[in-house]
Amino acid sequence: MNISYKWLQDLVDLDLPAEKLAEKLTLIGLELDGLHQAGDDWVLDIETTSNRGDCLSHLGVAREVSVSTRRSLRLPESELPHEEPDRDLVSIDDPDLCHRFTARIIRNVKIGPSPDWLVRRLEAVGERPINNIADITNYAMHTLGQPMHAFDLDKLAEGRIIVRRAKQGESLVTLDEVERKLDGSMLAICDAEKPLAVGGVMGGFESGIGEDTVNVLLEVACFDSLSIRSTSRELGLSTEASYRFERGVDIENLVRASDFASDLIAELAGGEIGEFADVYPTKREPARIDAPELRSEVLRLSGLDVSQDEIERILSDLGIEKLSADSYRSPTWRHDLAIEEDLVEEVVRIAGYDTIGEELPSGGSAGEYQPSEERKRRLRGALSTLGYSEAISYSFIDSGHQGVFASVPSLGTSESGDFVEIRDPIIEGASMMRPSLLPGILDAVKVNFNHRNRDLKLFEIGKVFVPEANETGLPLEKELLSICITGSELLSDRENAVRKMDFYDLKGALELVFDSLRIERPQLRPCKVSHLQAGQSAEVLEGGSVVGYVGKVNDGVSAGYKFKQPVFVAEIDLESLLKKSEEPPAYTSLPVYPSVQRDVTMAIKRSVSYGDVRQAITGQGFELLRNVSYVDVFEGQGLAEGERAVTIRLDYRSDERTLTEEEVDSVHSEILKNLASDIDFELR
């Protein structure tokens, strides 16, 4: 918003240099984007926030200058009569969209160029001079903040104005000579036959002021902000007028603005002032603000100790009326004042942000993470130590994912066929809210594959959404954890040797997750899941309840993502796990004596899981056996149909001495002998 320094001087007693004025305005919250000289004038480029529509004029800025400098404000005055017409000059059919409408007749005007002083002022604020009538309406808008429009009275059917909603199918050629289709949601300024203007946005070309105009109808009105914003967006047409109406204008300023412009038309275009119509269906009262503890709130929220008298002076200078000891009324030009905190802000910014002390607040302790956040931090740290990277993907996905991925059971459906649809997507092609984290993390895998990153370990923590309404009537939200692995990794015990990651690596990651949350490790149970490969998929059980799924992405889903290597994924209900109480960590001293490892490769039936083998070994209760871990699995040549070779590692250690080979061999043989009675296997 460009503001002329000389223009401001017409409205407020101002003797500060332009540079000092710029600093003053910045200190009270009006940020300046620039200051430049224009002839013998200075122009301030003020960045106006959306809630301060009152500052979109020289009068609005002059009010701020008046309050901050304690200088007198000069409002334009007029002695024009307000002679009512002898007929209905204006009728409002939709008072919800048009709150007030004034119209003044001015006859026998002479259209021509504007005087030099007016041209210079308009050019200083970026307006292009057109003719004296159009220039006067623009000048009045920049002076008082009230958009207005001048019609050629002789081009109005029956010489009257009807303010109504546009009819379906109506169109209008606007002043920019573009034909625009109107609909029933838009407000139109019409005569007895047709639309003349899009209310609050732009006038029509046919009824506009031309070189042959003699008689003028000057419109000054107040329209509904939301309606103007909607119409402007629908038509793709933003104007100086719509910009101001969207932010709100002063409904009590209409008559002053009309008189101001009419006086100038009479002076510069030789017009004769005629009838004046003011249609104001329902008077709108400004907001009443209850502020029983205003002074103490100023101190509490800002640290400034402002006296009650100073508070009253500041509010009075701002036009805020005191109704009682603890209530106030905002001025009609301030639509942003509604609650006590708004008054606190006004007092503090005028008293001066620069006067707030630098003393640190006393007392209090450093903040801590909530227990659930602390557990998630441990989870992230644990996965990071295994080489996992955290992915963060969009919550919006393409509708093509509908029905592809099974949801975790706690979401109330086994297949994610129902999506929360987004009414007005901000990203093209992303019209649904995700019911699963898998589309996002698999998209991340695809992007990495395209950049030739074939070895990946990823995880994501995020919210998912399903349409089943909860008690608030909103979609159900759940926080899930997804994990994904693909490709190879280096072996820890062999230099530069790699191995393919598989289902068991993902199972190990899940166990680490449960360990980091300090809850009992999960059990896995084979199952069928829509997006996972049959025979390589399982339910994740915690305390007997299914909290997620783990397995290999099936061929159909892999083909859709154009994957050329196996990808393994897990998705669990993290929100449910975080509600489980933590098991207190148990202290275990570091081992003093070395362990001895024995690897065993055995051919077993596919129906026998690694978990079955591990349970059969650990269940024998040998004290020297400290751990059983998975190493590798092989399927293929050299094995009978329906068999696979599984390699496991057994760790032996004593807390009292270093074990001998004979002791280890004895226990190891006994374990394998006992295992043979529980599981049918063949050593390889």
pLDDT for 110: 96
Contacts of 283 (CB under 8 A, 6+ apart): none
If you average pLDDT over residues 336-357, what whole number do you get?
91
Superfamily of domain 371-578 in CATH is Bira Bifunctional Protein; Domain 2 (3.30.930.10)
Mean pLDDT of 621-648: 89
pLDDT of residue 412: 64
492: confidence class by pLDDT, cuts 50, 70, 90? low
Would you state the pLDDT for residue 407? 82
Contacts of 264 (CB under 8 A, 6+ apart): 136, 139, 140
pLDDT at 493 over 70: no
Between 636 and 506, name the one with better pLDDT: 506
Asked: is 90-279 a CATH 3.50.40.10 domain? The reply is yes
Res 453: pLDDT: 92
Q: What are the residues facing 327 on neighbouring strands? A: 290, 324
Q: How much is the pLDDT for 471? A: 65
Fold of 288-353: Phenylalanyl-tRNA Synthetase; Chain B, domain 1 (3.30.56)
Is the distance from CB of 638 to CB of 609 less than 8 angstroms?
Answer: no
The answer, yes or no, to whether residue 494 has pLDDT greater than 80, is: no
**CA neighbours within 13 Å on the CB side: how many for 275?**
13
Q: Count CB atoms within 10 A of the CB of residue 497.
A: 10
Q: State the pLDDT at residue 415.
A: 46
Q: What is the mean pLDDT of residues 369-377?
A: 91
Q: What is the pLDDT of residue 86?
A: 74
Q: Identify the pLDDT of residue 322.
A: 93
Common-topology check for domains 2-69 and 288-353: yes
Tell me what percent of the residues of the chain surpass a pLDDT of 90: 68
**pLDDT mean over 434-442:** 93
**pLDDT confidence of residue 641:** 86
- The separation between the first and the last C-alpha atoms of the chain, rounded to the nearest angstrom, is 83
Q: Is the pLDDT of residue 559 over 80?
A: yes
Name the band, by pLDDT with cuts 50, 70 and 90, for residue 636.
Answer: confident
- Whether this prediction's pTM lies above 0.85 is answered by no
Q: What residue type is assigned to position 179 of the chain?
A: E
Q: Mean of the pLDDT values across residues 200-216? A: 94
| pLDDT above 60: residue 520 | yes
Q: Which amino acid, one-letter code, is at 509?
A: A
Of 184-193, 362-371, 610-619, minimum mean pLDDT range = 362-371
Average pLDDT over residues 292-316: 92
Give a three-class secondary structure readout of 150-210. Answer: EEEHHHCHHHCEEEEECCCCCEEEECCCCEEECCCCCEEEECCCCEEEECCCEEECCCCCC
Q: What is the pLDDT, as a whole number, of residue 469?
A: 57
Mean pLDDT across 200-219: 94
Q: What is the pLDDT of residues 374-411, one digit of tens each?
A: 999 999 999 999 999 999 998 888 877 777 888 888 77
All structural domains of the chain with their residue ranges:
2-69, 90-279, 288-353, 371-578, 596-683
Q: Which of 112-121, 452-461, 472-481, 610-619 has the lowest mean pLDDT?
A: 472-481
Which of the residue ranges 12-16, 587-591, 608-612 has the most confident prediction, judged by mean pLDDT? Answer: 12-16
Could you tell me the pLDDT band of residue 2, with boundaries at 50, 70 and 90? very high
* pLDDT for 524 beyond 50: yes
Mean of the per-residue pLDDT values of the chain:
90
Class of domain 2-69: alpha beta
Instruction: Please give the pLDDT value at position 418.
Output: 67
Dihedral angle of Cα 173, 179, 183, 187, to the nearest 10 degrees: -30
pLDDT of residue 416: 43
CA 283 – CA 64 distance, rounded (Å): 27
Q: Which residue has the higher pLDDT, 471 or 633?
A: 633
Residue 415: enclosing H or E segment and its boundaries? none
pLDDT band of 32, cuts 50, 70, 90: confident
Which carries the bigger pLDDT value, residue 636 or residue 118? 118
pLDDT at 215: 96
Q: Which pLDDT score is estimated for 375?
A: 93
- Would you say residue 635 has pLDDT above 90? no
Report the top-level CATH class of 596-683: alpha beta
- Residue 414, pLDDT score: 41
Of 121, 287, 99, 301, the residue nearest 200 (C-alpha): 99
Mean pLDDT of 134-151: 96
Instruction: Read off the tokens for 536.
Output: 């390589």
